[in-house]
Amino acid sequence: DGGITQSPKYLFRKEGQNVTLSCEQNLNHDAMYWYRQDPGQGLRLIYYSQIVNDFQKGDIAEGYSVSREKKESFPLTVTSAQKNPTAFYLCASNHGQSNQPQHFGDGTRLSIL
Partner 1 sequence: AQSVTQLDSQVPVFEEAPVELRCNYSSSVSVYLFWYVQYPNQGLQLLLKYLSGSTLVKGINGFEAEFNKSQTSFHLRKPSVHISDTAEYFCAVILYGGSQGNLIFGKGTKLSVKP
Task: Enumerate binding residues for partner 1 (CB under 8 A).
Answer: 4, 6, 31, 33, 40-43, 45, 48, 50, 56, 58, 90, 92, 94, 96-107, 109
Other C-beta atoms within 10 Å of 52: how many?
Answer: 15
- Nearest-approach distance from CB 15 to partner 1, in angstroms: 26
- Nearest-approach distance from CB 80 to partner 1, in angstroms: 26
The DSSP line for 8-64 is -SEEEE-TT--EEEEEEE-S--SEEEEEEE-TTS-EEEEEEEEETTEEEE-TT-TTE
- Nearest-approach distance from CB 73 to partner 1, in angstroms: 17
Q: Which is nearer to partner 1, 16 or 39 (CB)?
A: 39
Q: Which is nearer to partner 1, 80 or 88 (CB)?
A: 88
Of the candidates 71, 58, 68, which has an alpha carbon nearest to the alpha carbon of residue 30? 71
- Nearest-approach distance from CB 84 to partner 1, in angstroms: 18
HSE-CB at 11 with a 13 A cutoff on CA atoms is 23
Q: Which is nearer to partner 1, 82 or 102 (CB)?
A: 102
